[in-house]
Amino acid sequence: MNKKKPKILITEPIPETVIKHLREFGDVTVGEKGLFQSEENLLEEIEKFDALLCMLSVPVSESVLKKGTNLKVVANFAVGYDNIDITAAHSLGIKVANTPDVLTEACGDYAMGLLLALSRKLKEAEKYLRNGNFDGWEPLGFLGMELRDRNLGIIGMGRIGQAFANRAKAFGMNILYHNRSRLDLNTESRLDAKYIKDPIKLAEQSDVLSLNCPLTESTFHLVDTDFLKHMPEHALLINISRGAVIDEAALAEALHDNVIAGAALDVFEKEPGVHPRLLSAPNTMLLPHIASATHRTREDIGMLAAEAIISVLNGKDDNEIPNLITP
């Protein structure tokens, strides 16, 4: 008799190559887009499954984990995992994995793209042309910030922060950073980066400030009204980390009041919701969480999550499970 295949829930459509790979191993169910962003919907279904491959937007709470009596592994289709109750998972013996590394280069490219578009007012200029207002070259039209010799402050100098720093350095920017722990001297030298212990001091010195940090108790609403007041009036803010690192109401007011000159945001505290005052803020780019949106990267993310699931369900030791999050 054939061994019963494990049941795997993928909470919404992902690259077909990943789904096909998992179907060679288990009985795979793929949810509709957004269906399992509801904890109630997840609670109704989770006890059927041995493995969960989920998005960052899926609330894998203690209640969900306890209801998942057959659940052996949760693999997040993301670097972050603040949507998962890690403590509860470990106490229940459920393995948790994420997908670092594979997003690094795509996110580094994207952060640089946001900076170029924001600093040179590309969105506004294109809208101006499309609206039929372009009637000839203007010497004072859409003047922006030249990046050479400007200070780029990075909060969170992990893999993605360093990838962005490498790109910005090629544009002649000076790299300043704040991190939970200082980088080793060799890495600082390679990036030509200066460590600033106090994030407020970093804000004061940054022409551009990029958020590349995880969401923790210390980074929740790190960028608030007081923080923004310490930034130069010409400064630009970029966030591709987690939405809740910014107090969005405070940022919206700062943009409307010209406390800072602009912002480019790829993430939001209550996705897919966006603070309404941000929608009308000047010199603001708002993007729908697409920093890792390349064909190669999204497939790599899925495959990494799939391999973690297969490894756990095959009974491999913890040291053989890709990107296992340990207690």
Indicate which residues carry an active-site annotation: 242, 271, 289
**3-state class (DSSP) for residue 154:** strand
∠ CA 129-133-138, nearest 5°, is: 85
Q: 85 and 237 in contact (C-beta within 8 Å)?
A: no
SS (H, E, C) 113-165: HHHHHHHCCHHHHHHHHHCCCCCCCCCCCCCCCCCCCCEEEEECCCHHHHHHH
Task: Tell me the DSSP string of 227-281.
Answer: HHHTS-TT-EEEE-S-GGGB-HHHHHHHHHTTSSSEEEES--TTTT---HHHHT-
Tokens 């980088």 belong to: 183
Q: 159 and 138 in contact (C-beta within 8 Å)?
A: no
SS (H, E, C) 276-289: HHHHCCCCEEECCC
Closest CA to 156 of 218, 99, 85: 218
Quick one: tokens of 129? 């042309």
Burial class (CB in 10 A: 0-12, 13-18, 19+), 200: middle
- DSSP conformational letter for 319: G
The number of C-alpha atoms within 13 Å of 106 and in the hemisphere containing its C-beta is 18
What burial letters (b/e) apply to 66-76, b meaning 16+ CB within 10 Å? Answer: bebeebbbbbb
Amino acid at residue number 260: I
Report the C-alpha gap between 153 and 155 in whole angstroms: 7
Report the C-alpha gap between 137 and 135 in whole angstroms: 7
